[in-house]
Amino acid sequence: MFMLALSIYGLIFKILWLFFLAIYRQKEFFLKRR
């Protein structure tokens, strides 16, 4: 049960990290475009 919870938390963290990176890159792209 502990390993299952750990894997689920890892998956959520990975998705949040990818989401953050996408937003950060978009901000950088918009700043560079101006």
Chain segment 1-34, per-residue pLDDT in tens: 789 999 999 999 999 999 999 999 999 888 888 7
Give the position of tokens 């990818």. 18
* pLDDT the model gives residue 3: 92
Going by the DSSP 8-state scheme, the letter that residue 23 receives in this structure is: H
Q: Measured between alpha carbons, how far is 28 from 21 in angstroms, rounded to an integer?
A: 10
State the sign of the Cα–Cα–Cα–Cα dihedral 14, 20, 21, 23.
Answer: positive
Tokens found for residue 21 = 């990176």
Domain boundaries along the sequence of the chain: 1-34
